[in-house]
């Protein structure tokens, strides 16, 4: 089984690993400790101490914090319970007219705002652009991934987490609060 | 008494249910007892299929197969499961497998029976075909009088006699206009086509020499498989070949399941995807087609504790009165291709997909049309399907990232817009057919680098736009340009590979029709979302000039057009004078009248999806892109936040000014963005009022909610709309 240095994995993430070494990673049987090494690398790059449970994206992490599991940006900004779509706790900028869309797409590259709006999800802490959606009006934001964390740790990694959380989508609970 | 093929199929299904292993193979005996032979035979069988591809493409006539390799050959078990396939259009492996299974399920073993030299075909979507120009063929293979395997093939012919010329039937209003149907037929015996097969091709397709040439190419490849397989059996023995063949399929299933378990995370993935088809006011065939359509192409994927995968298309929108509807069988085949590229590519066969539970798409949707709309057309059925499959690349890219396998990450595809010509060429021959430009797009951004330019195609690993000179040989066109298109790969930390622009001058013809076709294009919308904060790929906007002054420009040796130019001032508008200049066409369309000599076509081919926040893009990459002409100063500055000037003829980045600019962009983002809840409160009122929502979008939502009530309930709940709310479309 292949093993790769943390330093090489870091170079890969940063896009500076030489191509032959990258090919080696692509072609070799996968290393079994990659997840742990990746989490260690990410843990050293974030501005918070809470342990990372899952790197949701290169910028967003599900972390264990004060008995809860919440989504945090690298900068430490929290988006709340990982079982509700984090986008509902984000800042959002929506381009849904020609003036705002033309800041990105000009002239013959301009999409039609009656067909599509560009939604930018921005971190309230560091101003990072975390996701961009291009959807017609009426489309709920994608809940890109709701992990079954307890199955992952308990059955797949063989080291259960100290507490368990139900595997359920809580997004609509938040909506219900807003609309009541 | 030996079991019939139908009984053997049932026995396989029962064994899979009982053991969780395909064919009940809990132990891979050949692999364990003779690993060298097992590995060697795998490569021999793969090469045998590749030999069939090489022979078959050479025998074929149309440039689509002969030059582009747009075909596929496969080897199957006696009950139809794909063992291995050739290079080529791998999207068809599952479909060919299902076709053989369908022949067995329909009782063809008894009537008309299977015997050596029989040739069977199907291209009919009602029986699992994808679209009529894709002729699917299979031949039973015998050894010592026993049916032991099947050879299969598909090739994409240049014309199948649909209501409009060519093979991208996006305008077909119903299945009756989809062209010549081969509906699960025996089309030959004794290794020869029936004479009446050829008569039918001759009377009902526009390019019969090419279509028959391609049929002979399919046959030649299948016979190559037959002959080579006999040699392999002589060497390794029939028992080993048949046993190992089943093991390759089970082995591949185990590989895919193992990869899901070791490289992804259990849970639920959701990815929306949309596509436009704006036809209102354009040249159409029937009055009912004078409308714009929008597609909802949603993907919900659940990875279970046992690493099996559930897949749902709940929310898929309704059928359209055009050729963009697909049978569930063909859709599943496309899914198998995507999945095999991403997860199960060690041995490409029927194995990986067997660990999937694919829910039947909503009846009446584009993905399952015939239950509610038997007349639905499938002229270019893969248009919505490839767009939808693009999601699979992105969602698995996201899952691989979570486990740290950054080297496996990929974003999604861009768009697929085709160009087809029909008319008389320079030799006086009538021609219609597809150019190969769309088969060479930018590849998706990877987790560690940009994608590659003009080197990838979602529907085939055989990404190749062919030699320009070959296209010029067939079609009455000359290439004035074929060059990388700047800013065509989205904007992100890593951008998608860039697409290109083909610029053609019509030449040496009494008249040529240009069909700018839909094979997954988007023209009103951008392609996909961004991934991880990147901006999506630009929409497809072709251009053309009719009755131009290009002849005069050539005689006066003045500049000609070689590319798109700036989107705000396209070159076709500034360099060419013409009676008709369409410099911002909404695709797809057919030119209102035939083009003539010296007319100009500017045909864009997309790049692919980017990933990551654009202001985190490495400044050296932006500098390189500026110097290569792959991006522009506006995009570098306003989207990537990179300040550069050009002191000595080359761009040089000012690092300090760039850092300051990027800080400004971050601050500006926070200043203009609002809490999601504030936006939601305003937006739900706009949704309720249907404010600035095109009628096509309203119809799309309306059909989604009708065909997928649960999806509809969740949509209403998200916007806190009353249960009886409906969109007016």
pLDDT category, B527, cuts 50, 70, 90? confident
The pLDDT value given to residue A176: 96
Q: Which of A30, A116, A132 comes nearest B262 by C-beta?
A: A30
Residue among B236, B215, B216 nearest B45 (CA): B236
DSSP B647-688: TTSS-EE-HHHHHHHHHHHHHHHHHH-EEHHHHHHHHHHHHH
Q: How many CB pairs under 8 A join A and B?
A: 268
Q: At residue B344, does pLDDT exceed 80?
A: no
Render pLDDT for B497-511 as a digit per residue (tens, 0 to 9): 999 999 999 999 999
- pTM for the structure as a whole: 0.96
Q: Which of A57, A91, A110 comes nearest B673 by C-beta?
A: A91
Residue B441 · residue B502 · CB < 8 Å: no
Q: Can you name the residues that pair with B420 across neighbouring β-strands?
A: B434, B515
Q: Can you name the residues that pair with B140 across neighbouring β-strands?
A: B150
The distance of A48 to chain B (nearest Cα, Å) reads: 19
Q: Do B270 and A133 touch (CB under 8 A)?
A: no
Q: E strands, B427-559, where? A: 430-434, 477-484, 500-506, 512-518, 543-548
pLDDT category, A3, cuts 50, 70, 90? confident
Q: At residue B279, does pLDDT exceed 90?
A: yes
Chain A residues in contact with B634 by the CB 8 A cut-off are 106
Task: Based on DSSP, count helices (H) and strands (E) in chain B, helices before strands.
Answer: 19, 27
The Cα-based distances of B114 to B74, B103, B104, B219, B425 in angstroms read 18, 10, 10, 17, 43
CB atoms within 10 A of CB B292: 22
Across B113-127, b (16+ Cβ under 10 Å) vs e yields ebeeebbbbbbbbbb
| Max CA pair span of chain A | 58
Helix axes B35-59, B208-236, angle to 10 degrees: 160
Burial of B637 (0-12, 13-18, 19+ CB in 10 A): middle
Q: How far is CA B698 from the centre of its chain?
A: 27
Three-class secondary structure of residue B158 per DSSP: coil
- What does the mean pLDDT of chain B come to? 95
Q: How far is CA B263 from the centre of its chain?
A: 26
Render pLDDT for B407-437 as a digit per residue (tens, 0 to 9): 999 999 989 999 999 999 999 999 998 888 9
The distance of B678 to chain A (nearest Cα, Å) reads: 9
B247 reaches A (C-beta below 8 A): no
Q: Where are the domains of chain B?
A: 5-160+171-253, 263-409, 410-612, 614-672
Task: Based on DSSP, count helices (H) and strands (E) in chain A, helices before strands.
Answer: 6, 8
Of all residues in chain A, the one with the smallest CA distance to B613 is A129
Contacts of B647 (CB under 8 A, 6+ apart): none
The distance of B227 to chain A (nearest Cα, Å) reads: 33
Cα separation, B182 vs B174, whole angstroms: 17
Q: Do B524 and A116 touch (CB under 8 A)?
A: yes
Q: Do B404 and A91 touch (CB under 8 A)?
A: no
Of all residues in chain B, the one with the smallest CA distance to A62 is B402
pLDDT category, A1, cuts 50, 70, 90? low
**ipTM of this complex:** 0.98
Q: At residue B356, does pLDDT exceed 80?
A: yes
Q: Do B680 and A88 touch (CB under 8 A)?
A: yes
First to last CA, chain B: 60
- What does the mean pLDDT of chain A come to? 96
Residue among B43, B2, B24 nearest B236 (CA): B43
Chain B residues in contact with A134 by the CB 8 A cut-off are 274, 525-526, 528-530, 536
Chain B residues in contact with A109 by the CB 8 A cut-off are 487, 538-539, 541, 567
Higher pLDDT, B29 or B88: B29
Mean pLDDT of B508-520: 96
Residues 86-115 of A with CB under 8 A from B: 87-94, 96-97, 103-115
Render pLDDT for B296-323 as a digit per residue (tens, 0 to 9): 999 999 999 999 999 999 999 999 999 9
């Amino acid at each position: 089984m292949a093993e790769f240095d943390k330093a090489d994995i870091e170079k890969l993430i940063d896009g500076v690993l030489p191509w032959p070494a990258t090919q080696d990673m692509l072609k070799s049987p996968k290393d079994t400790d990659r997840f742990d090494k990746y989490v260690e690398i990410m843990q050293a790059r974030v501005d918070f101490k809470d342990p990372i449970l899952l790197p949701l994206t290169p910028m967003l992490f599900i972390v264990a914090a004060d008995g809860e599991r919440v989504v945090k940006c690298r900068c430490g900004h929290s988006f709340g319970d990982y079982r509700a779509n984090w986008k509902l706790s984000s800042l959002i900028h929506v381009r849904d007219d020609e003036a705002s869309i033309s800041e990105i797409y000009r002239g013959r590259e301009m999409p039609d705002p009656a067909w599509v709006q560009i939604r930018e999800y921005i971190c309230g802490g560091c101003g990072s652009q975390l996701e961009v959606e291009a959807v017609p009006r009426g489309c709920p934001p994608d809940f890109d991934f709701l992990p079954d964390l307890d199955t992952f740790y308990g059955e797949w990694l063989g080291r259960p987490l100290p507490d368990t959380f139900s595997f359920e989508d809580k997004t609509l609970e938040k909506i219900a609060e807003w609309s009541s | 008494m030996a079991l019939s093929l139908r009984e053997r199929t049932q026995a396989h299904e029962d064994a899979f249910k009982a053991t969780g292993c395909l064919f009940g193979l809990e132990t891979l005996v050949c692999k364990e007892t003779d690993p060298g032979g097992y590995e060697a035979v795998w490569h021999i069988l793969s090469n045998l299929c590749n030999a069939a591809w090489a022979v078959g493409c050479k025998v074929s006539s149309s440039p689509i197969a002969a030059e582009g390799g747009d075909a596929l050959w496969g080897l199957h078990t006696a009950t139809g499961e794909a063992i291995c396939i050739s290079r080529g259009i791998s999207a068809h492996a599952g479909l060919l497998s299902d076709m053989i299974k369908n022949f067995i399920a329909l009782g063809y073993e008894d009537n008309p029976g299977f015997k050596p030299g029989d040739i069977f075909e199907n291209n009919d979507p009602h029986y699992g075909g994808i679209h009529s120009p894709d002729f699917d063929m299979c031949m039973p293979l015998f050894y010592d009088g026993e049916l032991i395997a099947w050879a299969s093939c598909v090739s994409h012919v240049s014309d199948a006699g649909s209501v409009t010329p060519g093979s991208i039937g996006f305008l077909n209003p119903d299945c009756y206009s989809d062209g010549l149907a081969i509906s699960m037929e025996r089309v030959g015996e004794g290794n020869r086509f029936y004479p009446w097969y050829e008569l039918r091709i001759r009377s009902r397709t526009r390019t019969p020499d090419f279509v028959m040439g391609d049929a002979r190419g399919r046959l030649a490849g299948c016979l190559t498989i037959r002959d080579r397989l006999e040699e392999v059996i002589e060497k390794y023995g029939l028992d080993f070949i048949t046993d190992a063949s089943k093991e390759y399929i089970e082995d591949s299933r185990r590989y895919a399941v193992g990869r899901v378990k070791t490289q992804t995370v259990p849970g639920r993935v959701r990815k929306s995807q949309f596509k436009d088809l704006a036809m209102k006011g354009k040249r159409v065939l029937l009055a009912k087609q004078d409308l714009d359509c929008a597609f909802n192409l949603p993907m919900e994927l659940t990875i279970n504790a046992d690493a099996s995968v559930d897949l749902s298309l709940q929310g898929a929108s309704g059928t359209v009165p055009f050729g963009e509807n697909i049978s569930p069988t063909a859709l599943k085949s496309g899914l198998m291709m995507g999945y095999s590229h991403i997860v199960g590519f060690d041995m490409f066969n029927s194995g990986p997909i067997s660990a999937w539970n694919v829910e039947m798409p909503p009846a009446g949707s584009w993905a399952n049309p015939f239950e509610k709309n038997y007349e639905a057309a499938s002229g270019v059925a893969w248009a919505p399907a490839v767009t939808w499959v693009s999601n699979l690349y992105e969602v698995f890219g996201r899952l691989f990232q979570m486990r740290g396998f950054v080297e496996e990450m990929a974003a999604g595809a861009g768009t697929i817009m085709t160009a087809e010509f029909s008319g008389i060429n320079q030799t006086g021959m009538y021609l219609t057919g597809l150019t190969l430009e769309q088969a060479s797009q930018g590849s998706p951004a990877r987790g560690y680098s940009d994608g590659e330019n003009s080197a990838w195609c979602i529907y085939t690993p055989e990404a190749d736009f062919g030699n320009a000179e070959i296209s010029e040989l067939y079609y009455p066109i000359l290439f004035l340009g074929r060059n990388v298109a700047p800013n065509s790969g989205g904007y992100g930390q890593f951008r998608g590979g860039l697409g290109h622009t083909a610029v053609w001058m019509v030449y040496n013809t009494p008249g040529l029709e240009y069909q700018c076709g839909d094979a997954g294009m988007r023209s009103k919308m951008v392609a996909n979302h961004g991934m991880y904060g990147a901006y999506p790929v630009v929409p497809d906007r072709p251009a053309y000039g009719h009755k131009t002054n290009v002849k005069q420009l050539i005689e006066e040796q003045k500049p000609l057009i070689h590319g798109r130019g700036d989107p705000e001032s396209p070159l076709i508008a500034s360099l060419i004078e013409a009676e008709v200049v369409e410099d911002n066409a909404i695709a797809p369309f057919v030119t209102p009248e035939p083009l003539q000599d010296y007319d100009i076509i500017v045909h864009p081919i997309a790049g692919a999806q980017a990933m990551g926040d654009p202001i985190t893009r490495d400044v050296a990459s932006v500098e390189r892109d500026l110097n290569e002409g792959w991006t522009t100063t506006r995009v570098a500055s306003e989207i990537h936040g990179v300040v550069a000037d050009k002191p000595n003829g080359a761009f040089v980045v000012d690092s300090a000014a760039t850092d300051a600019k990027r800080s400004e962009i971050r601050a500006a983002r926070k200043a203009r963005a609002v809490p999601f809840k504030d936006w939601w409160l305003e937006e739900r009122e706009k949704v309720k009022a249907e404010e600035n929502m095109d009628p096509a979008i309203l119809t799309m939502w309306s059909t989604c909610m009708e065909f997928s009530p649960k999806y509809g309930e969740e949509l209403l709940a998200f916007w806190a709309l009353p249960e009886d709310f409906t969109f007016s479309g």
